[in-house]
Every structure is written in structure tokens, then in C-alpha cells.
Amino acid sequence: MKTSKCMNSAIAVLFCFVFAATLNAQTSKKEQQLVDAVDTHLKDALSLLETSVNINSGTMNFEGVQEVGRLYQKELDALGFKTELTSGEAYNRAGHLVASIEGKKGPKIVMIGHLDTVFELDSPFQEFQMRNDSIVEGPGVADMKGGDVIIILAIKALKDAGLLKDMRIKIVMTGDEEKSGNPLALSKKDVIDAAQWADIALGFENGDNNPKTIVVARRGSSDWKLKVKGQPAHSSQVFSEKVGVGAIYETSRILNAFYEQLSEEKDLTFNPGFMLGGTEVSINTDQTGGNAFGKNNVVSQAVEVHGDIRAVSLEQLERAKKTMHAIVAENYPKTSAELIFDEGGYPPLDLTDGNTQLLATYNLVSQDLGFGSIEAVNPRNAGAADISFTSGYVDMAIDGMGLTGGSGDHTVEETANLNRLAEKAKVTAVLLYRLMAKQK
């Protein structure tokens, strides 16, 4: 692969950075070999990142998503993985890249990335550009092509050290993380199948972009609808026994009660994204808005509210749903209301003892390599991600192992810090080695 001129200026600085960090490393001979191997392959990894970022892979650009999949597939084929680009036809998406190598040592590990970005073909944000000698901007450079490249770079180091052939690893890079296909049972089947096989799940999203944090718990996300009905009449009759209060007053009661009873719940959020009300309401087929008709002197007959809810555990989610249903059932006179929760959505990644233990191991590796200590991300700062579909299947899971140090995710200001690429790959490679060595 060719490396652009804008990349060349950064490479020398990056090698100075990674060499200085290596000098402080407290590692075994084999671990030092992994660190050196990452440095050996760093230039190619930077070129791979640039190439993949310059391929538009907005979720609905199926051809572009598949092209990125083929690019990474070629890398993993060369490393000895059995690879497959799966079809996403059944859930109207591009499909996923699934790769596996099944040795006989250590725990079974699934490494999770994704091929797609939020930037479709009509986005003005399409190119990899160096802002200075370390900060790069580009569509998906952090979320999460940087994380995908970290996976490949760490795997190359393990192969150079003669360790890969003995390991048991599955890699799943989905093609629809940013805009999931429907139904989720098919869209996320490859992730769930890998989780059912695995003991440990490692996610390579960029977390909260802080290189000193790792995700041990993620909040799930699902949608809800509130449909409220009232008795239409002339406004002069509002509050009467025959007419009641109308749909809009009932809706305001419900939403206010949601706020009063649940807004102080730690790590729980529920947001009404849009609301339409009046005499008649119609919702667009894509569920992103609609139309309402009404008059100032008519008591409202219908209201519809669409929102989402995010909880840090299934227990918290079910408790919140129960409270919300109870609020909805206490109707004002001559009104009725129905609260509907989407049964799909992303589940929470529950905080478990295993996740905390895995963070402790990751933290020790980071310190031993001279990169400093790592702590857990506040779940409020970590959105939903594909690793959440491993919850309940694996013994241990962490996320946020991707390319950090930037900002502006999901905007045309998305950046990442290339100094972190080798650092994260080194920690990943040594972590995988220690997990294998621990269970020999």
C-alpha cells in the first residue's frame, strides 16, 4: 500500500514516541518481542488506516462497507485466519466480516469491530487528513476503523512472536453497527454466535476517547412510544365531567411524572425525542416525525410521543419500565394512554466481577508497558455498542480498546491521535498473550 505525504511527516514522530514508551516497559522477553513486532508493522498499519478511512463505508453504502471488509479480510487471510464476508440481505445491510483461528491454548476470545461509519456518500466528510504530526481527521478514523487496525496490528505481532497459531480467536467486524439492520436477531447473529462460543469479549470502539479509560459497562438503548387519546370537544367544555382534560394535558402529566419519579436514578436516562398532538396525528413511515392538525379552540384528541431509554443493566431497565407503565395507567378524566417499548434495541453490557477483573489485567499490562494506569469509563459516557450483545454469554468483557485521544465522533470534526495506535496495539497483544499464558 502507498503512504501519502501527509502520513510520512507523522511516522518519524510516532516511532520516537513508541520507542520511548518501550524503554520504560517492565516486560518478559516474549512480551518485549510483541512490543518490537508492533513497531515493525506500524508503518503498514498507518497506511492501512489511511486506505480504509478513504473508502466511504456509510452503513447504507453496501458496496463501500463490503470493500472495507475485503481490505481487512485480505490482511487476516495472510495471518492464517479462516475468513468469511457474510450476507446482510436478510436484514437489509452489507453483512459482516467474520474470521477465526482455533488453536488449543488459552481462553476463547472474540474481538469485535465494525466496518461501517455514520458518513454516507452524500456527506462532505470523506477524506483522511493530517491536522498536525499526530492528530488525524477522517470519517470513521476513531469510530472505528482505528480500532479495526489495532486488532490487525496486534494480531500481526502475535504471529511474529509465534503465538498466534496456538490461540483461539474469533474476530467479528459488523457492517451495521451505526445503523442496525432489522430484525436484530439476524443482524447481530454473528456477534451472538461468537459470544456463545467465547469466554472473553474484547471491543475496539474508542470509548469516551480518553486513552486512560476502558469500558466495563455500557448502557443499553431501546425505543418507546406513548400514544394518548382524549375526548374531542369545543375548548369551552374542557375540564367538564363529560369532556375531561384532553390528550395534551394527559401527556404532560405522564412526561412530568416520568421526570419526577425517575430522573434521579443513577445511569438511567429516558428522552422524549419528538411529540405531535392535536385533533389528528400522523407519523412518518420512517418514525422520525410526522404531521399534526388542531385548532386553538378544540380539546386535543390525540398525542404521540417517541423517545428512547438507556439503562446500565437489565434489572434497572425492567424496574424503570414498571414505573413508567404504572404512571401511564393513572389517567386523567376521559383520557387513555398506551406505552409501547421496542423489544429490539441494544441490551446493556452489565457490570460484572469478570469485567472488573479483566480491566485489572488490562491496567497492569498498560502500567508494565509504561503507558500508565487505566480506569473504568463512567457508563453515562459510553453509548450502546455491539459488544453489548455478548452480555450474559461471556465470563469477561471490556470495550474502548480502540484508537483514542481524539474528539468529534459522528461529526465532520472526528479526529484521533495516531500516537495511540501503537500503544493500544501493544497493550492488546500483551493482554492476549497473558490471557493465554494464564490458562495454559
Confidence (pLDDT) at 315: 93
- The three-class DSSP label of residue 135 is strand
Task: Tell me the CA distances in angstroms from 207 to 42, 219, 345, 381, one per residue in order.
Answer: 22, 12, 19, 8
Instruction: Specify the pTM.
Output: 0.86
Confidence (pLDDT) at 421: 97
Which of the following CATH numbers is that of domain 221-341: 2.60.40.10, 1.10.3720.10, 3.30.365.10, 3.30.70.360? 3.30.70.360
Q: Which fold has domain 5-218+349-438?
A: Aminopeptidase (3.40.630)
As a whole number of angstroms, the distance between CA 143 and CA 58 comes to 12
* Nearby residues of 284 by Cβ (< 8 Å), 6 or more positions away: 290
Confidence (pLDDT) at 26: 66
| Best CA proximity match to 206, nearest among 109, 117, 91, 80 | 117
Task: Tell me the CA distances in angstroms from 223 to 15, 246, 270, one per residue in order.
Answer: 46, 25, 9
Q: Which burial class, exposed, middle or buried, applies to 87 when counting CB atoms under 10 A from its CB (0-12, 13-18, 19+)?
A: exposed
Kindly list the domain boundaries of the chain, sorted by start residue: 5-218+349-438, 221-341
As a whole number of angstroms, the distance between CA 206 and CA 17 comes to 20
Confidence (pLDDT) at 21: 43
Task: Tell me the CA distances in angstroms from 126 to 1, 51, 96, 123, 407, one per residue in order.
Answer: 19, 12, 22, 7, 17
Per-residue pLDDT of the chain (440 residues; tens, 9 = 90+): 444 544 554 444 444 444 444 444 467 999 999 999 999 999 999 999 999 999 999 999 999 999 999 999 999 999 999 999 999 999 999 999 999 999 998 999 999 999 999 999 999 999 999 999 999 999 999 999 999 999 999 999 999 999 999 999 999 999 999 999 999 999 999 999 999 999 999 999 999 999 999 999 999 999 999 999 999 999 999 999 999 999 999 999 999 999 999 999 999 999 999 999 999 999 999 888 999 999 999 999 999 999 999 999 989 999 999 999 999 999 999 999 999 999 878 899 999 999 999 999 999 999 999 999 999 999 888 778 999 999 999 999 999 999 999 999 899 999 999 999 999 999 999 999 999 988 65
- The three-class DSSP label of residue 372 is coil
Confidence (pLDDT) at 380: 86
Confidence (pLDDT) at 17: 44
Taking the C-alpha atoms of 153, 158, 164 and 168 in order, what is their torsion angle to the nearest 10 degrees? -70
Confidence (pLDDT) at 20: 42
Confidence (pLDDT) at 329: 98
As a whole number of angstroms, the distance between CA 1 and CA 71 comes to 11
Q: Which burial class, exposed, middle or buried, applies to 108 when counting CB atoms under 10 A from its CB (0-12, 13-18, 19+)?
A: middle
* Pairing outcome for strands 82-85 and 97-102: antiparallel
